[in-house]
């Protein structure tokens, strides 16, 4: 009982909390020179953390170990995956929620969270210039959000009966999507039981955008095979390159054929806040449903994702389960404050506090400033890549994602050799420098990919990256030439 008393002791918490905040503040202060991705082998890390499972480990021991061995998103050298460095205020909001354990499934358990969630959705819909009457909710990540939206599409566009009650039966539903779309779309379709044929991949153009001129032929072919098209999905933007489909053309196609129009805007929807790039989101307001991750370009930690419906009542179509001990279903009134009626989660974290803290304490302009900043970093970096004869730019960036590769003037014997060279550069760069970036495949060829999420990344950091790549690439190429001769 003594340990339990200490565990919940306010004075102990105060001491440990102050110590943690000091540690994190020192971390934030040190990030300008911090390694973005500290190198460590899985086995070594396993043994290191195993030593903490001994009696006498202090919170300081644990927190310092986790901080040291984690990816440092706040380092200006971080240019890796599509995760932004969370604003420190939002971390404090999570600390508050960690104490009260706010759940927003039902109003009586999560009153504050439910109200804030309603306001976050309303405010975000206004910022993105979505249609009046747009409604929605927050959920845990883009994968779950896309699945939820497609379940709503199924409920709205099912030809007859009720798939939620009766299953798919003999119907062979399908959706149309850019071949460059995130794999979670394919996963969602398979979860719904539509199989491999349930996803019709539309080829992309040289900018990795859906070739919308192929849609009419695609729907005719699908119907001739006995498929029943229900929805079409636009990407804003795609995972590998951040490319934006022609949303207006897709909306026109959806309207002509009575399809549900969904937009996967997990990464790129906030680009609508950037006056220079907002045109890429024309048609966003015409979607039946749309998702956006606040943890990619809105300074929140993962997972924080919004699901938006142009017709707010569509959000209530998806789930019809009875749960009398939680919710009353004997009324036609859509009780927006009981999230359990329309979300997957029966117990849902109070993620609304994260976004609401920024909106209420800093205002909506802070989101615009962030999006413009990281897009500008990417545009400037792409210009530097284009101007350097030793590099090849895959395409002009539509947001904060830049794909490029090192292409030496010395002859490369094959495309595979160039792929291997860039893969080796990336591996050595991550292991030996402060930088962290990733690689991707475009048209089966390897490219380096930077996602600029840290607003404190400056020109000296991006110039240093190109210099480091050039230096490593030159060394590898010279060694290879010596070996071959």
d(CA 336, CA 340): 9
Distances (CA, A) of 138 to 130, 133, 355, 368: 16, 17, 10, 20
Look at residues 276, 280, 217 and name the one whose alpha carbon lies nearest to residue 248: 280
d(CA 469, CA 429): 7
pLDDT value for 55: 75
Inter-residue contact 288 to 261 (CB < 8 Å): yes
DSSP string of 61-118, one letter each residue: HHHHHHHHTS--TTSTTB--SS-PPPPHHHHHHHHHHHHH--B-SSTTT-HHHHHHHH
pLDDT value for 103: 81
Sketch the domain layout of the chain as residue ranges: 103-363, 366-484
d(CA 273, CA 153): 27
Under CATH, what is the fold of the domain 103-363?
3.40.640
- In eight-state DSSP terms, residue 316 is G
Round the CA-based radius of gyration of the chain to a whole number and report it: 24
Residue with tokens 């098209």: 229
pLDDT value for 54: 84
pLDDT value for 322: 45
pLDDT value for 40: 87
Q: Which residues contact 429 (CB under 8 A, 6 or more apart)?
A: 435, 437, 468, 469, 472
d(CA 370, CA 21): 24
Chosen CATH of 366-484 out of 3.40.50.11540, 3.40.50.720, 3.90.1150.10, 1.10.10.10: 3.90.1150.10
Residue 50 has a CB neighbour count (10 Å cut-off) of 9
User: If DSSP codes are grouped into helix, strand and coil, which group holds residue 479?
Assistant: helix
Strand order in the sheet with 401-406: 391-393, 401-406, 445-451, 438-442
- In eight-state DSSP terms, residue 314 is G
Distances (CA, A) of 482 to 243, 415, 449, 477, 485: 40, 20, 29, 9, 5
Look at residues 142, 109, 95 and name the one whose alpha carbon lies nearest to residue 347: 109
Positive or negative, the CA dihedral 249, 250, 255, 261 is negative
Inter-residue contact 178 to 201 (CB < 8 Å): yes
Distances (CA, A) of 406 to 222, 241, 392, 417, 452: 41, 17, 6, 12, 19
pLDDT value for 305: 97
User: If DSSP codes are grouped into helix, strand and coil, which group holds residue 199?
Assistant: strand
Helices (H), 158-276: 163-166, 183-191, 215-224, 247-257
pLDDT value for 166: 82
Inter-residue contact 308 to 162 (CB < 8 Å): no
Q: Measured over all CA atoms, what is the biggest interatomic distance in the chain, rounded to whole angstroms?
A: 82
d(CA 245, CA 474): 37
> Per the structure block, which two tokens stand in for 70?
């984690």
130, burial (CB in 10 Å: exposed 0-12, middle 13-18, buried 19+): buried
The pLDDT profile of the chain, 485 residues, written as one tens digit per residue, is 668 988 999 999 999 999 999 999 999 999 999 999 998 899 999 999 999 998 789 999 999 999 999 999 999 999 999 999 999 999 999 999 999 998 887 788 889 999 999 999 999 999 999 999 999 999 999 999 999 999 999 989 998 878 888 888 889 999 999 999 998 999 999 999 999 999 999 999 999 999 999 999 999 999 999 999 999 999 999 999 999 999 999 999 999 999 999 999 999 999 999 999 999 999 999 999 999 999 999 999 999 999 999 998 887 766 654 444 344 444 445 677 877 777 778 788 899 999 999 999 999 999 999 999 999 999 999 999 999 999 999 999 999 999 999 999 876 668 899 999 999 999 999 999 999 999 999 999 999 999 999 999 999 999 999 999 999 999 998 887 766 55
Inter-residue contact 26 to 70 (CB < 8 Å): no
d(CA 294, CA 302): 8
Inter-residue contact 213 to 246 (CB < 8 Å): no
Positive or negative, the CA dihedral 256, 257, 260, 261 is negative
């Amino acid at each position: 009982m003594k340990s339990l008393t200490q565990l919940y002791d306010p004075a102990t918490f105060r001491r440990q909390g102050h110590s943690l905040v000091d540690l994190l503040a020192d971390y934030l202060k040190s990030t300008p020179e911090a390694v973005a991705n500290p190198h460590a082998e899985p086995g070594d890390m396993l043994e290191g953390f195993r030593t903490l499972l001994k009696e006498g480990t202090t919170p300081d021991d644990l927190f310092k170990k986790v901080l040291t061995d984690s990816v440092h998103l706040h380092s200006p050298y971080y240019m890796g995956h599509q995760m932004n460095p969370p604003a420190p205020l939002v971390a404090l909001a999570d600390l508050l929620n960690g104490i009260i354990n706010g759940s927003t499934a039902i109003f009586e358990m999560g009153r504050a969270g439910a109200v804030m969630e309603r306001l976050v959705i309303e405010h975000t819909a206004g910022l993105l210039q979505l249609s009046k009457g747009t409604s929605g909710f927050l959920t845990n990540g883009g994968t779950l959000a896309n699945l939820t939206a497609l379940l709503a599409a199924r409920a709205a566009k099912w030809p007859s009966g009720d798939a939620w009650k009766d299953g798919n039966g003999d119907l062979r539903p399908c959706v149309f999507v850019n071949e460059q779309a995130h794999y979670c779309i394919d996963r969602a379709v398979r979860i719904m039981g539509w199989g491999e044929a349930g996803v019709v991949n539309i080829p992309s153009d040289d900018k990795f955008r859906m070739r919308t001129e192929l849609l009419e032929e695609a729907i005719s072919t699908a119907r001739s095979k006995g498929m029943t098209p229900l929805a079409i999905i636009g990407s804003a933007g795609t995972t590998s390159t951040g490319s934006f489909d022609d949303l207006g053309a897709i909306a026109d196609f959806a309207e002509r054929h009575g399809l549900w129009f969904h937009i996967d805007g997990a990464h790129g929807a906030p680009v609508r806040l950037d006056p220079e790039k907002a045109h890429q989101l024309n048609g966003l307001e015409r979607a039946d449903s749309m998702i956006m991750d606040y943890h990619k370009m809105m300074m929140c930690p993962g997972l924080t994702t919004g699901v938006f419906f142009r017709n707010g009542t569509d959000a209530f179509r998806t789930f019809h389960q009875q749960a009398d001990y939680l919710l009353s279903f004997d009324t036609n009134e859509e009780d927006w404050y009981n999230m359990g009626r329309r979300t997957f989660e029966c117990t849902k974290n109070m993620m609304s506090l994260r976004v609401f803290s920024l909106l209420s304490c800093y205002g909506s302009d802070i989101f615009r400033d962030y999006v413009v900043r990281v897009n500008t970093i990417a545009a400037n970096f792409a210009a530097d890549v284009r101007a350097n004869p030793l590099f090849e730019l895959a395409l002009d960036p539509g947001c904060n994602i830049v794909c490029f590769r090192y292409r030496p003037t010395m002859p490369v014997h094959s495309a595979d050799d160039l792929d291997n060279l860039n893969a080796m550069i990336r591996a050595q760069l991550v292991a030996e420098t402060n930088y962290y970036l990733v690689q991707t495949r475009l048209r089966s060829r390897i490219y380096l990919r930077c996602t600029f999420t840290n607003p404190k990344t400056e020109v000296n950091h991006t110039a240093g990256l190109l210099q480091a790549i050039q230096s490593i690439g030159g060394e590898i190429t010279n060694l290879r030439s010596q070996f071959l001769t």
